[in-house]
Chain A
Amino acid sequence: SQTIHQWPATLVQPVGSPLSLECTVEGTSNPNLYWYRQAAGRGLQLLFYSVGIGQISSEVPQNLSASRPQDRQFILSSKKLLLSDSGFYLCAWSVQTGLWPQHFGDGTRLSIL
């Protein structure tokens, strides 16, 4: 069966520090991968998606970037964090075609001080 892992579960970082969140998927090949952010009390906002290695599409302009160095690895990064980057970050995967739903990891709660 397929599983998705995100780490760390929680992270506290000072303003201006770099960020690297990692997501890996097991049990499937060539998945679509997604990064979402959920601000407190709000719905999910899609940040990035990837349909293959090295292929990243950004949905909103922001202080963050994403990379996909391997088929089942998706990384969310920032060179200098802002206070507004605080939130709950979720990685998700889906089969590339058809009706298949997206499956989410357990998320990383990021607090910027």
Chain B
Amino acid sequence: DAKTTQPTSMDCAEGRAANLPCNHSTISGNEYVYWYRQIHSQGPQYIIHGLKNNETNEMASLIITEDRKSSTLILPHATLRDTAVYYCIVRVPNYGGSQGNLIFGKGTKLSVKP
């Protein structure tokens, strides 16, 4: 799986948009970008994933650059409960076993402040 690079930490004001960047310059053509987050002392929570088109769901939006070498996760109106470590992962689709396993790096610690 391709390696990703994320800032160690970021701050965001409550109610504002949180934009979390991720670089994945060595991503291959069949690798998807996945985002998870982990709130302290809980298991990681899936947020969103995409291949090359921008994606949106009830939690967030994912913007992937045209060359696919970077992406941005957007939380449109951050709340205090969005304070967590956010992980950007690139991997091939889960076709079973090791091919679909997630490799988590250190992620970005997002602190939402009142």
Where the two chains meet, the residues of A that have a C-beta atom closer than 8 Å to any C-beta of B are 6, 32, 34, 42-44, 46, 49, 51, 57, 59, 88, 90, 92, 94-107, 109
Contacts and interface: CB of A to CB of B under 8 A. Distances in A.
A102 B101 CA distance: 9
Interface of B: 32, 34, 36, 41-46, 49, 87, 93-98, 100-107
B97 A51 contact: yes
B44 A104 contact: yes
A58 B94 CA distance: 17
Contacts of A94: 94, 100
The 3 closest A-B pairs by CB, nearest first: A104-B43, A43-B104, A44-B104
Nearest to B106: A43
Nearest to A89: B43
A59 B98 contact: yes
A82 B45 CA distance: 29
A44 B95 CA distance: 20
B5 to A, nearest CB: 13
A99 B93 contact: yes
A109 B97 CA distance: 25
B102 A102 contact: yes
A88 B38 CA distance: 12
17 contacts: A32-B97, A32-B100, A43-B103, A44-B104, A46-B101, A49-B97, A57-B97, A59-B98, A90-B44, A97-B95, A97-B96, A101-B36, A101-B46, A101-B94, A102-B46, A102-B100, A104-B45
